[in-house]
Amino acid sequence: MSRAHNFSAGPAALPVEVLEELQPALVEFGDMRAGIMEISHRSAAFAEVHHAARDRLRRLMSVPDDYTILFLQGGASLQFWMLALNLVGDGGSADYLLTGTWSRKARTEAARVGDIAIAWDDPDGRYDRVPADDEFTVRPDARYLHYTSNNTIAGTQFSTPPAADRPLVCDMSSDICSRPVDVGAHALIYAGAQKNLGPSGVTAVILSPWVLEQSRRCAAVLPGGLPSMLDYGLMASKDSLFNTPNTFGIFALERVLAWLERQGGLEAMAARNARKAATLYAELDRTDFWRPHARVDSRSQMNVTWRLPTPELEATFVAEAADAGLMALKGHRSVGGIRASIYNATGQQAVDDLVAFMRDFEARHG
Ligand SMILES: Cc1ncc(COP(=O)(O)O)c(C=O)c1O
């Protein structure tokens, strides 16, 4: 095999063990005499996969029993709009913390629907940090406070959820299942699967009972109700099977969650992720040659971003790294520089090899 160490921000590396489990299931799944993509989403065999995925996510994240778990399509980007439609679609208000590209997009979509205020935005526009709790206030009539737990592009992360008296709604796309979180402290959590959970095309959405009540209220006042595909209440009543879901994606996600359980669950993942991140940040702090983007207290454990002295050196770094078997290190076009995404499936060895490459690169170009 000639697989490189893959630092892609998403779709991202998946555990090889999982990929090897998916391979034979494409051709023949269990005793179905057909592959996993070729059987009905209403078959007993798929129901087993679907329910196992849901149950594993509930166990791994300690999702409260009265919360609903859905697997939807349309990515996190559709949730930007869907959650607003269900929560403030009757013209209600909500507040947003703007910590980068994705939270800005979430707010733009929500503002099509409700009265959305910006509770915090980075005053110097660098998005190199997340706000402290005393830097923002949430309107008392805001139905929820939206935040992005990990900012994939800038490489910043909340170490704990922001403190607010209002229900929390979180885009957890790029750090879900990387560490334990208090799901019960949130009203709604959503995440595109393609970083820590599986392939793109599946979005995990975790809803409190309050969200479903609110969704019913919005459906009742909107002329004709909510569009079916955007109605949490309907999706919940149909157990995510109102229409044909991404059956392969849910199967792959279920296998990733089983792998996570075998790794020891989220406590164990958090310890591994902390060690990987510490290894890489120690190298970034070792010499001025590297210029880490995120401020120390906001550093992401999932996406590590930094600059080199010149854009030319950055391009050389990315090219030489690829030749050395370290792929997808180019920073997002909006920020530039280098970004190493080190999600759950990226092992310590990949990070150690990256750091060894960085030392050699600095010796030659520093
Ligand atoms: C934090 C975050 N939110 C939202 C998105 C958009 O996700 P999707 O492409 O699933 O709509 C991304 C994609 O990278 C992301 O990193």
Q: CB of 152 closer than 6 A to ligand 1?
A: yes
Active site residue 290: no
Catalytic residue among 195, 276, 290, 330: 195
| Model confidence pLDDT, tens digit, residues 296-308 | 999 999 999 999 9
Q: CB of 25 closer than 6 A to ligand 1?
A: no
Distance 38 CA to ligand 1 centre (A): 28
Ligand 1 pocket test, pick from 82, 102, 253, 303 with the greatest ligand atom count within 8 Å of Cβ, gives 102
The residues, ordered by sequence, that sit 6+ positions from 236 with a Cβ below 8 Å of its Cβ are 68, 70, 207, 212
**Do 69 and 54 meet the contact criterion of CB atoms below 8 Å apart?**
yes
Tell me: domain 265-365, CATH 3.90.1150.10, correct?
A: yes
- Please check the confidence at residue 328 and state whether its pLDDT lies above 80: yes
Active site residue 195: yes
Amino acid at 44: A
pLDDT for 29 equals: 97
SS3 at position 347: coil
Active site residue 276: no
Catalytic residue among 81, 102, 120, 306: 102
Instruction: Report the distance separating Cα 190 and Cα 176, nearest Å.
Output: 9
| pTM of the entire predicted model | 0.98
Domain boundaries, the chain: 16-262, 265-365
**What tokens appear for 11 in the block?**
């779709």
Residue 134 burial (CB count, 10 A): 7
Q: Point out which residues pair with 204 in neighbouring strands.
A: 71, 191
> 303-307 and 115-121 as β-strands: parallel, antiparallel, unpaired?
unpaired
Q: Which atom of ligand 1 is nearest to the CA of 150?
A: 1
Nearest residue (CA) to ligand 1, atom 10: 75
- Please check the confidence at residue 92 and state whether its pLDDT lies above 90: yes
The CATH architecture assigned to 16-262 reads: 3-Layer(aba) Sandwich (3.40)
Q: CB of 79 closer than 6 A to ligand 1?
A: no
| Model confidence pLDDT, tens digit, residues 177-223 | 999 999 999 999 999 999 999 999 999 999 999 999 999 999 999 99
- Please check the confidence at residue 104 and state whether its pLDDT lies above 80: yes
| Model confidence pLDDT, tens digit, residues 18-64 | 999 999 999 999 999 999 999 999 999 999 999 999 999 999 999 99
| Model confidence pLDDT, tens digit, residues 231-257 | 999 999 999 999 999 999 999 999 999
- Please check the confidence at residue 334 and state whether its pLDDT lies above 90: no
**In whole numbers, what is the pLDDT of the chain averaged over residues?**
97
Distance 61 CA to ligand 1 centre (A): 20
- Please check the confidence at residue 172 and state whether its pLDDT lies above 80: yes
pLDDT for 1 equals: 72
**What tokens appear for 328 in the block?**
């997808």
Catalytic residue among 81, 95, 120, 171: 171
Domains 16-262 and 265-365 share a fold: no
Nearest residue (CA) to ligand 1, atom 5: 76
DSSP 98: E
